[in-house]
Amino acid sequence: MLNFILKIFWKLKRYHFLLISLHLFYLSLIGQDSTYVLNGLLLNAENSEVVPNAVIQLIGTNNYATSRKDGTFEIGPVTTKKFRLKVTHLSFQESLVDLDTSKLVQKRIVIYLFPRTITLNPIIVADNVIILDANSEYNQELKGKILHQKLGQTVGHTLKNEIGIAVRSMGPAPSRPVYRGLGQDRILIAEDGIKTNDLSATSPDHAVTVEPFTAERIEILRGPKVLMKASSTIGGLVNIVREEIPKQLHNSAHYTLGGYFESANLGRLLTFKTEIPLKIVQSRFEISKRVADDITTTIGKLKNSSSQNLSISSGLSYIKNGGYLGSALKVFELNYGIPGGFVGAHPFGVNIQLFKRQLNLETSWKLNNEKNVKANYSLTYYRHKELEYSGRIGSEYRIVTNSICASYALPEFSIFHHGLFGLDINHRDYSVGGYVFTPKSQSLNISAFAFQGLTRNKFDLDFAARLSYDVIKPLKEKFSKRIGWIRKKEFWSFSFSAAAIYQFSEILYIGGNLSRSSRSPTIEELFSEGPHLAAYSFEVGNPDLNLEQGWGSELFIHHKFDKFNFTINAFYNDLNSYIVPRNTGTINYQTFLPVYATSNEDVRLYGVESSIFLNLYKTLKLNLTFSHTIGEIKLNNKPLPQIPPAKGIVELNYINENLTTGFSIEWAMSQKRVDEFEEPTAGYGIVNYHFQYQFYIKKLINNFSINLDNILNKEYRNHLSRIKSIFPEAGRNLRIIYKVMI
């Protein structure tokens, strides 16, 4: 009996322990919080920039969240270990993320979003201070996949097919963009908003000291925005954005490795970039090396057109919530050839060796939630030598530039937004050696500028003004028999620009721009005197030049349908005392070079541009562009020199999320409206093919492009090439571009 009772007790005891254990486990589940809030950060997969204003949904629930300005978000409560998030944003591909929080050490995640493929020109966000609303239809931007596909040897080659853009060249290396027939320093080229401070604007043989391959994006800005950097509103600003001074602190290190090859000149490039966060300090380093042989055209090799360059930059920033304080040091070296073989040229061409050292300092701080103070300082040392085939120096240039710019962002008030005013000071020390007799000179520019935007219902208006004082002083004042009295020159100038856009409906926008433009003569335009070895010209300046000024106007209509968009843009510029160097038709018999003299002319430049986008099918897109500029002297209606012909692009693309491929026809009409001693050019049409594929291997983002330019090996000549009389442009050319990012 006792044994039976003990057995029953033992069985009850065993079940009791089991019940107690289950009860305690249940209590432990109740005692701990079974729900939690998930923290996350959204980043752009192509450049690691934060993504604000994205919508995050917890699938299967009505739980939504929106990412903040710094890309962070919180979503909850989450009640399960395994769940799915959906992230949507207008500018990025939709992302579905499956998570198992039991495998997470902390309830924090980072989600990378991949930009959508956009075939239309997007709205510009020019910097951290100003977002242009009324001006958005006036600006263009290359970034992401589109920039990757179009990358070329230089900035000019990269932009050559953008609407309104032509390329001035004297061989491949010294190419430079021209906009609506406007060149020289009417088109300002900057990196991260800081002027390049080279000599590329002064002569067709001088190269732009920028390596485009490592650019995050390239902006082509017009209208009021230009007055933040220059006084010539009818031109534009080409800004290469690479953020050499870091402005954001990454959560982890990022690396980029890239390569480039093209067959026409056996050009090859290798680049490496790294961005490493060090607590509250963000570092950045990049190095690029490019080598190109003589270019092959349809009629043979263009001798002495090879080049090689090295670009190195290093940046460091101290970053806090209120702003940043950073610096960047840049080294750029380029050796390249200028071909010979035509009248006035050296038989074997000329070689140019240049190098630039640039130190940039920048800071930006928030005084409160709305106000922002920004300042930067730049010191640039630039030097280049032009060497004859024998190695003897023909021309030598040395320029030291100091630049300071400070701006203050105004708080929003009523209908006013994005207000800003600032002060810009530039000092330039200019020296010339060799057989050029341009005197050593100094120039000083002091400018005050202001910008303001306003919005009222469906109407947006942006306007800006710039007041400038320029003084240009030769080291020694003297009288020259060729050009006259070389003396100190002073100029006061005022520029104004207003851009407006009105939204008539969801699909129709009409806008316009009116600007008062001014530009002071440069040292070269005033005081040049003597042979310019690589430009194959005897240059004669004019110390009596007046201030270039006039009015510019523009009108556009933009229609947006579901599958069909088009824009038509007409412009008219009326300029007094336009500064232009022209071939006089005479020869300097001491050097046997044609004489180019600089003078003031009253001119008009007008034309039309248009673009059409047609969605033929879900993945099949058609793009058409057209641009035409006419430039003439008002006194006699004679054509201005170096005005590009009418040109355009017809492009058919197949596009899905990771693949883009298609054909394009690049065409230009003949240019017979030429200056008296300028050579006309025939029209042409060339066929190109492009293929681009983006793929991912774990954390590696791979972007691969193949471009076949001038498939039919067509002979054609660029009207803005100074050597078009002896050689055409490149023949069939295979370009291969590859980037991998982590």
Percent of the chain with pLDDT over 70: 89
Q: What is the pLDDT of residue 462?
A: 92
Q: What is the pLDDT of residue 119?
A: 33
pTM (two decimals):
0.82
Q: What is the pLDDT of residue 261?
A: 97
Q: For the segment 65-103, what is each residue's pLDDT rounded down to a tens digit?
A: 889 888 888 888 887 777 888 888 877 877 778 787 665
Lookup: tokens for 123: 């709205």
Q: Which CATH number fits domain 33-113: 3.10.20.740, 3.30.1450.10, 3.40.50.880, 2.60.40.1120?
A: 2.60.40.1120
- How many Cβ atoms sit within 10 Å of the Cβ of residue 161? 18
Cα–Cα distance between 439 and 258 in angstroms, integer? Answer: 44
Q: What is the pLDDT of residue 17?
A: 41
Widest distance between CA atoms in the chain: 139
35: confidence class by pLDDT, cuts 50, 70, 90: low
Averaged pLDDT for residues 137-165: 88
Cα–Cα distance between 706 and 261 in angstroms, integer? Answer: 10
Q: Supply the DSSP symbol for 208.
A: P
Q: What is the pLDDT of residue 34?
A: 52
Q: What is the pLDDT of residue 593?
A: 83
Cα–Cα distance between 685 and 498 in angstroms, integer? Answer: 37
Q: For the segment 683-714, what is each residue's pLDDT rounded down to a tens digit?
A: 999 999 999 998 888 778 899 999 999 999 99
Cα–Cα distance between 132 and 113 in angstroms, integer? Answer: 25
47: confidence class by pLDDT, cuts 50, 70, 90: low
Q: Which range has the worst mean pLDDT, 10-19, 119-128, 333-342, 514-523? A: 119-128
Instruction: Give the DSSP letter string of 692-708.
Output: EEEEEETTEEEEEEEEE
Q: What is the pLDDT of residue 412?
A: 79
Q: Which range has the worst mean pLDDT, 397-406, 422-431, 435-444? A: 435-444
Q: What is the pLDDT of residue 123?
A: 30
Cα–Cα distance between 720 and 643 in angstroms, integer? Answer: 8
Q: Which range has the worst mean pLDDT, 144-158, 167-181, 551-565, 584-598? A: 584-598
Percent of the chain with pLDDT over 90: 58
Q: What is the mean pLDDT of the chain?
A: 86
Q: Which residues, other chains included, contact 208 with Cβ-Cβ below 8 Å and sequence gap of 6+? A: 154, 155, 156, 174, 175, 176, 189, 196, 198, 200
By CB neighbour count within 10 A (0-12 exposed, 13-18 middle, 19+ buried), where does 179 fall?
buried
Q: For the segment 353-391, what is each residue's pLDDT rounded down to a tens digit?
A: 999 999 999 999 887 666 689 999 999 999 999 998 888
Cα–Cα distance between 423 and 659 in angstroms, integer? Answer: 46
Class of domain 136-741: mainly beta
Nearest Cα to Cα of residue 501 among 491, 515, 511, 493? 511
Nearest Cα to Cα of residue 601 among 639, 570, 571, 630? 639
Cβ pair 622, 655 in contact under 8 A: no
Q: What is the pLDDT of residue 104?
A: 57
Q: Which residues, other chains included, contact 642 with Cβ-Cβ below 8 Å and sequence gap of 6+? A: 168, 178, 181, 183, 675, 678, 719, 720
404: confidence class by pLDDT, cuts 50, 70, 90: very high
Q: Which residues, other chains included, contact 432 with Cβ-Cβ below 8 Å and sequence gap of 6+? A: 395, 396, 397, 398, 438, 439, 440
Lookup: tokens for 406: 């400070």
Q: What is the pLDDT of residue 129?
A: 32
Q: For the segment 406-415, what is each residue's pLDDT rounded down to a tens digit?
A: 999 888 787 8
SS3 227: helix
pLDDT at 19 exceeding the cut of 90? no
Q: What is the pLDDT of residue 366?
A: 82
Q: What is the pLDDT of residue 506?
A: 82
Q: Which range has the worst mean pLDDT, 136-150, 256-270, 486-500, 638-652? A: 136-150
Q: For the segment 187-206, what is each residue's pLDDT rounded down to a tens digit?
A: 999 999 999 999 999 888 99
Cβ pair 57, 51 in contact under 8 A: no
Q: Which range has the worst mean pLDDT, 50-54, 112-116, 210-214, 432-436? A: 112-116
Q: For the segment 606-625, what is each residue's pLDDT rounded down to a tens digit?
A: 999 999 999 998 889 999 99
Q: Supply the DSSP symbol for 251.
A: S
Instruction: Kindly list the domain boundaries of the chain, sorted by start residue.
Output: 1-29, 33-113, 136-741
Q: For the segment 443-498, what is each residue's pLDDT rounded down to a tens digit?
A: 999 999 999 999 888 899 999 999 999 999 999 999 988 899 999 999 999 999 99
pLDDT at 48 exceeding the cut of 50? yes
Q: Which residues pair with 219 in a beta bridge?
A: 141, 239
Q: Which residues, other chains included, contact 392 with Cβ-Cβ below 8 Å and sequence gap of 6+? A: none
